Amino acid sequence: MDITELCSGINLQPEIRCRVLEFAAGFDFQAVDDLLKGFQGQESRQNALKELQTILKEDEDHIKVLACMLKASADLYDFYREKGIDDGIYFDTMKCYPRFIGETYRMTGRFCFDREWWTVRQVGGCLFCIGALEYEIAETDQKKGIELHIPSGTDLSPDAVSQSLSSAGRFFAKYFPETGQAEYHGHSWILDRQLKGMLGEDSNIIRFQNRFEITDEGEPGTECIRWVYGTGTDDYASLPERTTLQREMKRHLLAGGVIREAHGILRQREEE
């Protein structure tokens, strides 16, 4: 797999693809190969990213670091092939790039890449998109766990979530048996129990939340603003009110409330 093939396979936006390929054509990726491989270690990935950014220096719209991420992602295809992981999961996982670029474009009107701090997980071969959800193998206190992540705009209907969880159970049992009976953890504003006062029990968000045992109410966060309203503004009075969630969350925020990034453990894994 090379960068050009990957860009086509994930439908990277033409406006940014041409800039990536232009940079890639004249850059010596071998000179940063050790840093790109450093993304594969949970402890080393953030330091590797910092060193890479230092080497790349000025990087308008983060095109250079995006090209390096895509190169490392293309190289990772061999890892998927060796494991026998389906190409569909590989490309679904790497579609994080156009998704993030699209989100930023809708918020700023500019095609740029601002999520390199997150995509080290995909590049590191520890985060996989399986159906509606993403799953990250993580290790804390020498204990492996699976972190659940919710891509923006995904289908959170009970059927879609159950299908994703079932597929993930089979995926990890087959390709990463060392995860064994690892717990599935969630850390998200979607797990904030205050949402039950804003949404009905038939809400997909509440149905998703009910799958978890909340273990920590978490700290106040602002990620919900980006996810719910598609903006990073802190001018709460200007937020739209097109949906029940938007209206109720806006009312809550204007009244001085906060939304917390709660932690939870999946109550029951669904496997076939």
Residue 250 pLDDT exceeds 90: yes
Q: Concatenated DSSP letters for 209-252?
A: HTTEEEEEEEEEESHHHHHHHS-----GGG---SSHHHHHHHHH
CB half-sphere exposure, 143, CA atoms < 13 A: 9
**165-222 tens-digit pLDDT:** 999 999 999 999 999 889 999 999 999 999 999 999 999 999 999 999 999 999 999 9
pLDDT at 189: 97
pLDDT at 76: 97
Residue 249 pLDDT exceeds 50: yes
**111-159 tens-digit pLDDT:** 999 999 999 999 999 999 999 999 999 987 778 899 999 999 999 999 9
pLDDT at 272: 39
pLDDT at 270: 54
Q: Cβ contacts of residue 261 below 8 Å, gap of 6+? A: 187, 188, 189, 192, 218, 219, 220, 221, 223
pLDDT at 41: 83
Strand partners, 212: 266
pLDDT at 232: 85
pLDDT at 271: 47
Identify residue 131 by its one-letter amino acid code. G
pLDDT at 42: 81
Cβ neighbour number for residue 61 with a 10 Å cutoff: 16
pLDDT at 173: 94
**31-86 tens-digit pLDDT:** 999 999 999 888 899 999 999 999 999 999 999 999 999 999 999 999 999 999 99
Residues 49, 187, 262, 235, CA torsion sign: positive
